[in-house]
Structure 1
């Protein structure tokens, strides 16, 4: 079972104990989780301490440790520096891939994301035809920035006319930050496990972004978080509490149509990263991108 460990209480100490992550408070154990089940650790409490042996063990398993700011957005991520048997060859292929190939890959990801956004609006009885038209107009590299045009249409119809996406804002935006942090850490793990370098992105190229490729690959999955946040805000308000975090973490276990079957989000991200790595090596673009689930699935998220 894939689990994201969230640390929100001040004063906790995290350590390794015989195959488990042990959580202690003033020397007394308050919980433990099998290391083999952990795909990421997210730390919000700034008074948290961690043993070096635990961090090394998590790195060996490819599980990132994410440290967040007060707005629930990630400040730093600890990831292993190696961990894939074909890493050298795949990194060379990734680095040597030409710009036209990267642009075509980014187009496929944007088209997939807009498809997911349109399906979300349809599930909530909002007009999605303009998004469907935008989906068909995405060019290689999205040179016309259709992704941003789609976002301007999508957000007010999903969250209300007054909503503005702002990473530094509280309430609903903070819920989105937390959900995206879970996605980002899962995507970063998938990228590393696939033998790719997370800094070398398809589209995100900010020189200060060490996880540009993870940010690229998580894009089609963002609308799932958006649905959870909408449901949570309507049901209980926009507070980022334990219940809300648990709902958002469960997104990685949601089954999505992929290929001939269904696959949990965490596995879908791994398959997407692996397919990209293989595409770099073969020079033939074949991305394993998910399809939107049924409308009822969107409606039930966060409710």
Structure 2
């Protein structure tokens, strides 16, 4: 079953009753949703109150809770501790103990897939992309030559023009990109936890203040999918900003049909198979991680 993304953007009182989310506004119940149907709960207004029993029930059902800041961008995420998974300790040890060669091989494949997807995005909009295909074929173990960085320099200028600067703090199209990335990041983090892996133990990203290093690693090839949506929105309106309407295509991306190992399935479902692939690499049952394609 495809899980739902519930976004609350008005002052609300959120509480639990009969294992359902009850949304109360102005002392009236305006909606109720079974917790088991939810994949992500996005809280976007500063005047939202949420009860602890609701938070706990969301965690029991592996529902990620995202808190947004004053710019309407996701700022923090609550994820469950996978204590209910009997294999969690064994899986965690395997994740911690993977060798550097395995780690570097996986990062090479992730970078290659990201660059290939960037090339596909440029091709989609009739822009020159052959340079990126060449770079993808030259990525070495651990991306020691930082071809990911070289690809980014070319990619952003080719997609948005020579004057474009990728700035995570800007309020222009960059903010729209950030919103899309944060949705993908949360969904991947949710799938990581559900699989028994730990989201803080990354392959490439390592930061003691970042609890989602592995999610940041695994989301890289999905970024161009967000870029494609953002570019189309930017073409329609050069001054595009984050609105309720603008968020819809990014939220819809989660249920978008993708192809994974010759099978069609929603993106959200494919993420669980992606995690299974990753774990097979950790125990040396596989030497390749396969990503879904559009």
TM-score, normalized by length of structure 1? 0.91
Q: Distance in 2 between matches of 1:189 and 1:3?
A: 13
Partner of 1:140: 141
Q: Distance in 1 between matches of 2:43 and 2:167?
A: 22
Whether 2:100 is the aligned partner of 1:123: answer: no
Partner of 1:275: 277
Q: Distance in 2 between matches of 1:267 and 1:219?
A: 18
Q: Secondary structure at the match of 2:164?
A: coil
Equivalences for residues 41-56 of structure 1 within 5 A: 41-56=41-56
**After the TM superposition, which of the residue ranges 182-191 and 264-273 deviates more from structure 2?**
264-273
**After the TM superposition, which of the residue ranges 262-271 and 202-211 deviates more from structure 2?**
262-271
Q: Do the aligned partners of residues 71 and 102 (structure 1) sit closer, same or farther apart at CA in structure 2, a change above 3 Å counting?
A: farther
Partner of 1:266: 268
Equivalences for residues 14-163 of structure 1 within 5 A: 14-82=14-82, 83-163=84-164
CA-to-aligned-CA distance 1:30-75 (integer Å, 9 cap, x gap): 2222322211112221221111111111101111111122344432
**Alpha-carbon shift at residue 283 of structure 1 (Å):** 5.3
Q: Distance in 2 between matches of 1:110 and 1:196?
A: 21
**After the TM superposition, which of the residue ranges 18-27 and 277-286 deviates more from structure 2?**
277-286
Residue number among 234, 241, 247 corresponding to 2:243 in the alignment? 241
Q: Is the 8 A contact 1:195 1:277 kept in 2?
A: no
**After the TM superposition, which of the residue ranges 260-269 and 91-100 deviates more from structure 2?**
260-269
Q: Is the 8 A contact 2:91 2:196 kept in 1?
A: yes
**What is the CA RMSD across the aligned residues, in angstroms?**
1.5
**Alpha-carbon shift at residue 99 of structure 1 (Å):** 1.3
Q: Distance in 2 between matches of 1:163 and 1:252?
A: 27
Q: Secondary structure at the match of 2:77?
A: strand
CA-to-aligned-CA distance 1:117-142 (integer Å, 9 cap, x gap): 10111111111110000001111111
CA-to-aligned-CA distance 1:232-253 (integer Å, 9 cap, x gap): 2222441211111111100111
Structure 2, unpaired ranges of 5+: none
**Alpha-carbon shift at residue 151 of structure 1 (Å):** 1.0
Q: Distance in 2 between matches of 1:59 and 1:134?
A: 41
Partner of 2:286: 284
Q: Is the 8 A contact 2:102 2:281 kept in 1?
A: no
Q: Distance in 1 between matches of 2:154 and 2:224?
A: 13
Q: Is the 8 A contact 2:234 2:240 kept in 1?
A: yes
Equivalences for residues 202-217 of structure 1 within 5 A: 202-217=203-218
Residue number among 254, 258, 269 corresponding to 1:252 in the alignment? 254
Q: Distance in 2 between matches of 1:166 and 1:70?
A: 18
CA-to-aligned-CA distance 1:10-49 (integer Å, 9 cap, x gap): x212112223222111321122223222111122212211
- Number of residues paired by the alignment? 291
**Alpha-carbon shift at residue 81 of structure 1 (Å):** 1.0
Q: Secondary structure at the match of 2:283?
A: helix
Q: Distance in 2 between matches of 1:151 and 1:132?
A: 13
Q: Is the 8 A contact 1:7 1:45 kept in 2?
A: yes
Partner of 1:301: none
Structure 1, unpaired ranges of 5+: 294-303
